[in-house]
Amino acid sequence: MTILQPFSKLLKTIEPLWKIHFEPRVPAEELAKSRTAGSIPSFGFFFLLTLASIIATLGLITNSSAVIIGAMIVAPLMNPILSLSFATATGNWALFLRSGLTIVLGSFLAMGVAFLVTVLSPWDVVGSELLSRTRPTMLDLGIAIAAGAAGAFSLTRMSIASSIAGVAIAVALVPPLCVVGIGLAGGSAMTGVFGNFYVTNLDVAGGASLLFLANLIGITISACLVFVLQSYGSLRKALKSLALGLLVALMLSRPLGTSLHEFAVDNRVQLELHGLHRDGRFRDVNLIHRVDTKLVNGVAYVNIFGAANEEFIEDQKNIDNLDQRIFNAIQPMGVHTMHIAIRIAPIEIFEYRNTSSSYSYQP
């Protein structure tokens, strides 16, 4: 009796019961028809995408996450991307070209609508919702890979087909395109607001373009693999297109990896600032609005925006100690040189206590 025999017997006992919970797959012919319909650049597709782009752009301008989520649900851009994945898995080049054309036309439409709405709006101030889509990392690529797999799998099971809306929310497609349009319309005149600070010369369009490409590649590759693993198509037919997709993903991995490193350094700096504030040495630093880090060949350019009382600002030792403490914290993360810019707005704190009245509570 081998060590695996008890596990084999247990598996045979459970298998008949477990098979009950496996839903039947959608027939290949039916899935092919739905993917063909999803790839067509129809009037309905462009109409819904136009409305979704308007909603997303206005949501980004007003910094409303609820409005942006609504735009994600309305936007039909996920359909041709999943059709592109299905075409890759099955080797259907007519479907591949039609899906690709629909994605390209839809992308330019979303950017154009956002550009027009921004030009017509008396607005040039960037909020947190827009800024969060300008610095993608490898984490965003991971989200796109998981979302693409979930989207493809939901198409193959009738009982969970409704979950495709959740997939559209999980991975942002239209909002990054709208950010690109907003960035092209606003240019370098756009201003980011962080508490009491205003920052200009923001690279809005470039970062958002990278986010959209990462989402597109991640969804396409993972969805294609899910289709192949369920015998919709074959790996042999999908190999060339998958190789091209993996090559693009590899090209994107460098800027995404750099952004992830910057994200990690940002978090380490914020953690250090929180620790300094908590242990009392920098208790007079009342609020850190933002930490922004750029890494270039091991050189960290750290920008800290915060607020403190005037006594703290006037004492140069406080700033020097803060400088050294932060460098010591991020040096083990591959940083050999640090250039730090600390912008602290002076504030005055008034403390009010009501001593004229006393209150008591008796149950």
Beta bridge partners of 307: 287, 345
pLDDT tens by residue, 173-222: 899 999 999 888 877 666 666 555 556 656 788 888 999 999 999 999 99
**Residue 360: per-residue pLDDT:** 46
pLDDT digits 0-9 by tens, 74-86: 888 999 999 999 9
Check if the beta carbon of residue 79 is closer than 8 Å to that of residue 49: no
Alpha-carbon distance 333 to 329, whole Å?
Answer: 8
pLDDT of residue 317: 66
The CATH class for the domain spanning 263-347 reads alpha beta
Distance CA 218, CA 101 (A): 18
Per-residue tokens: 314:
């006037």
Instruction: Please write the tens of the pLDDT for every residue from 127-176.
Output: 778 888 888 888 888 999 998 898 888 888 876 666 666 666 667 789 99
Contact, 185 vs 112, CB < 8 A? no
pLDDT reported for residue 116: 94
- What CA–CA distances, in Å, run from 67 to 58, 74, 86? 8, 11, 31
Give the model's pLDDT for residue 294.
82
The phi-psi region of residue 298 (left if phi > 0; otherwise alpha if psi is between -120 and 50; otherwise beta) is left
Q: Average pLDDT, stretch 254-264? A: 84
Rounded-to-integer distance, Cα 361 and Cα 363, Å? 7
| Identity of the highest mean pLDDT range in 108-112, 137-141, 351-355 | 108-112
With bands split at pLDDT 50, 70 and 90, how would you rate the model's confidence at 269?
confident
Does residue 362 carry a pLDDT above 50?
Answer: no
Report the predicted TM-score, pTM, of the whole model to 2 decimal places.
Answer: 0.76
